[in-house]
Structure 1
């Protein structure tokens, strides 16, 4: 995730927010001519964890989650996790999920459907809260990529959480699937051109850099 925002900056300037919903939710946006990026919290990681316990790889289309209802106790506990109160830049991952979230799931008596529904509502609440905190202009566009973008129930909940503050926009499926590959190809081009391909504002480094190594084939003797 710390590498992809260069692509958001150069390839997708028409979007005020670029949101990626993989295992973790992260987003990038431009603020005072500086690209900001960080992990918001969870996305598909807890959903897949729950469905795999009943023998499914994932909840296709969010169909199971859609049939559930919010467990208010679990939702309140999730929303109070200390990570969400930390200022950006910040990053989280599987270890945090195992330590802080899995016990909440395991100790809940909610049904599978209610667990999934509650997690989606929680995810969308946190995403919308962070986007609204940036005080976007009405009509600002949020480009959504990652596996979560292919989950209609997730997208409906996100639109509800954002309300009129922003427009949720989905790119073609191929772009959703290949965005990271496209950005890494761009980084390669920038490296060859000796231009910045990693942003210090995202990684926390002291300065922008032109990272990577170019390997040229040996000439035949």
Structure 2
């Protein structure tokens, strides 16, 4: 038996509510960049779960406690199904991101539901979860958490760009890791695609058919968040307060809103990179051909789109890696990224 090999399941649910991502991954502890995603899957939410998670921001504290336990039980079932389907025998631990319901770090608040003890009991496995709370207590943003994975697993790229519910970026500057949320992506685009009867805007075809609304996009560019320096992060609350009201008040067709907001995303992302930068692109937005082309129109950058498994499951993979670091009590949260008082090892550990 090779003692350097660790086998883990990483579980991720993003703000765009497009499902639960699961990976079964093998890490080589001697050289962690030698990892293999052995199995991966996405489990879509039922309409009931999607609605509950979307509305949880308005729940009372008692209802949130109930949701935390019930969602934990649901995750336990989903993970057990994944284990059984792939006949997985060897598991050292499970790392679960949970689902973010509240994220207001400036108020010292962040909440990811999905009770770790419930998952551990259900799966009979060691579970690491709740990766953000400690960082917020230390004065940090509690986000983004993926950059330590970018640094140690994907160091050959100058920049790592993830296009999920939000676009976030991570890169090295003056020997420090810098990372932040750039702008919303699928959390906005999916809303208007759904309004037109589609789950998402496939390859950006709907956006490509719309009309660009110059005045609306100019208004979006003036949002205060874009002027702020990192560390900074975004949440659903900000989108509901700043983005949706602007789009809705324009009273324009969903196609035009998709075109305008996709172009806005491209502008927001392009201005982060210097010319000819080498950028690894992952997350569902990497399949949006219109968006990728729009970024390149804004600036000449080398956008590298990897194999599909890595596009879809990089975040779940990195949460498995965060769990590995936590169990070894190694740093998995960088103060240069989150603004916390110190680098630290974050996450709660639960045993069955």
Q: Secondary structure at the match of 1:2?
A: coil
SS state at 2:177 partner: strand
Aligned CA distance change for structure 1 residues 213 and 91 (closer, same or farther; 3 Å): closer
User: What is aligned with 2:165?
Assistant: 23
Aligned positions of 1:72-221 closer than 5 A? 72-131=214-273, 136=274, 139-163=276-300, 166-214=301-349
Instruction: Provide, for residues 22-47 of structure 1, a one-character-per-residue CA deviation record: whole Å limited to 9, x for no partner.
Output: 11111111111100111111211211
Q: By how many angstroms is 1:193 displaced?
A: 3.2
> Secondary structure at 2:162's aligned position in 1?
strand
Q: CA deviation at 1:214?
A: 4.9
Decide whether aligned partners of structure 1 residues 193 and 80 sit closer, same or farther in structure 2, where only a CA change above 3 A counts.
same
Q: TM-score, normalised by structure 2?
A: 0.57
Q: Is the 8 A contact 1:144 1:171 kept in 2?
A: yes
Offset at 1:122?
0.5
Contact 1:146–1:177, Cα closer than 8 Å, also in 2: yes
CA contact (8 A) 1:65 1:117 kept: yes
5+ long unaligned stretches in structure 1: none
Q: Structure 2 vs 1, CA of residues 48 and 213 (structure 1 numbering), >3 Å: closer, same or farther? A: closer
Measured on the aligned residues, the alpha-carbon RMSD in Å equals: 1.7
Partner residue of 2:176? 34
Contact 2:195 2:254 in 1 (8 A): no
- Partner SS for 1:196: coil
Cα deviations by residue, 1:152-176 (Å, 9 ceiling, x for unpaired): 111111121122xx20111111011
Distance in 2 between residues matched to 1:35 and 1:23, nearest whole Å: 22
Deviation at 1:123, TM superposition (A): 0.6
Q: Report the Cα distance in structure 1 between the residues aligned to 2:272 and 2:299, rounded to whole angstroms.
A: 10
| Rounded Cα–Cα distance in structure 2 between residues aligned with 1:93 and 1:191 | 25
Which fold has the larger relative contact order, with Cα–Cα distance below 8 Å and residues 6 or more apart in sequence? 1
> What is the rounded CA distance, in whole Å, between the counterparts of 2:157 and 2:148 in structure 1?
14
How many residue pairs match? The answer is: 210
Separation (CA, whole Å) in 2 of partners of 1:96 and 1:185 = 28
Q: Structure 1-normalised TM-score?
A: 0.88
2:209 & 2:237 partners in 1: Cα distance? 30
Q: 2:34: which partner in 1?
A: none
The Cα of 1:54 is off from its aligned counterpart by 2.4
Of the candidates 193, 196, 213, which is equivalent to residue 71 of structure 1? 213
Alpha-carbon separation, structure 2, partners of 1:190 and 1:44: 29
Q: Distance in 1 between matches of 2:336 and 2:260?
A: 33
- The structure richer in strand per residue is 2
CA distance in 2, matches of 1:42, 1:186: 25
Q: 1:192 to 1:96 in 2, by over 3 A?
A: closer
Structure 2, gaps ≥5 residues long: 1-142
- Runs of 4+ displaced beyond 6 Å: none
